[in-house]
Amino acid sequence: MPYMMLCRDLPLAYFEVRENGDIRYERLIDHSTAVACLASRVFGERLRRSLANEENLSAVLDKVLNISAYLHDLGKASDYYQVQVESIKKRFGSLSFWLHHIVSSLVLYESYIMKTDPILRYASEIVLRHHRAMKTTVEDLCEERRKDVIINAIKRLNEKWITSLLDNGIDKGYIDEDRRNLILEAVSEMKRLRDKDIINRCAYRLRSSLTHYKSAEAKLIISVSGAVIISDIVISGIVRGGIRALANIWLREIPNLEREARNCINLQSDHKI
């Protein structure tokens, strides 16, 4: 598939050229919408029951779940990652989004700082964990090459792509206009930072611990993180053609999970790969 034919679909959440020459890809906007759809449909009510006694948190739960699930891969909307499609299409391999969960978290945390919005703070914690379970791992910055990835991914965040992603989130009801504007402002601000300031922010973010939160808040973060992790791996496995063992466990445990996942995928007009 010529690169220019893919350009209209960028940014991608997944791209792979297999050994037999087959190309499989998934648009970021479709993946984000399907994951948020599944998280809301399958886990929304379960989480509301779990947090029913926490009046303050139950009131914000839906917003935290929707924003976290929809923006968990926000960091992939960077030219730094997406230009790799050009080299991969000449051989077999897959597009690497190394440390994108940290980039996503940094953008959301910067948004939180600008307005001290607790929903964005919780979302920042959750997306940080969606590939690391409950670990945040400071060692992600121990090597210089890892610092370079973070810096380049942030400085090459594509504001046009992110705007489209956020506008779609508004249309689907996963984010509101005020937070959309705040996130865009945060992206613009982070791209102007000096390299050392980006790394300092990153180091601070990675030192985050659930002990910094009240027990009910920690429960919210852990619970929503689990919902996002499961929704992400199930949607990915179905669309990309490779259900992982962890996803299979949850497909067996939750009877309607696969049906709802396929329904959410089918809502996206361009999901077929």
CA dihedral sign, ordered 6, 95, 35, 106: negative
**Angstrom distance (rounded) from CA 99 to CA 79:** 14
pLDDT of residue 97: 95
Residue bearing tokens 């440390």: 99
**Angstrom distance (rounded) from CA 18 to CA 3:** 16
Residue-wise pLDDT for 10-40, tens only, equals 899 999 998 888 888 999 999 999 999 999 9
Residue bearing tokens 């992603």: 165
What are the start-end ranges of the H helices in the chain?
Answer: 3-7, 28-38, 44-50, 55-58, 61-70, 79-82, 84-88, 100-115, 118-129, 144-155, 159-172, 177-191, 195-206, 215-240, 245-253, 257-266
Model confidence at 273, pLDDT cuts 50, 70, 90, reads very low
The stretch 235-264 carries a mean pLDDT of 88
Residue bearing tokens 């964005």: 120
Is residue 233 a contact partner of residue 246, using CB atoms and an 8 Å limit?
Answer: yes
**Angstrom distance (rounded) from CA 151 to CA 197:** 10
> For residues 132 and 224, which has the higher predicted lDDT (pLDDT)?
224
> Which of 56-65, 75-84, 98-107, 157-166 has the weakest average pLDDT?
56-65
The stretch 203-224 carries a mean pLDDT of 90
Is residue 251 a contact partner of residue 233, using CB atoms and an 8 Å limit?
Answer: no
pTM of the model: 0.93
**Angstrom distance (rounded) from CA 228 to CA 129:** 9
Domain map of the chain by residue range?
3-266
The stretch 175-197 carries a mean pLDDT of 97
The alpha carbons of the chain give a radius of gyration, in whole angstroms, of 18
Nearest to 45 by CA among 182, 241, 227, 171: 227
Please give the backbone phi and psi of residue 92, each rounded to the nearest 5 degrees, phi first: -90, 150
Query: How high does pLDDT run on average in the chain?
Result: 89
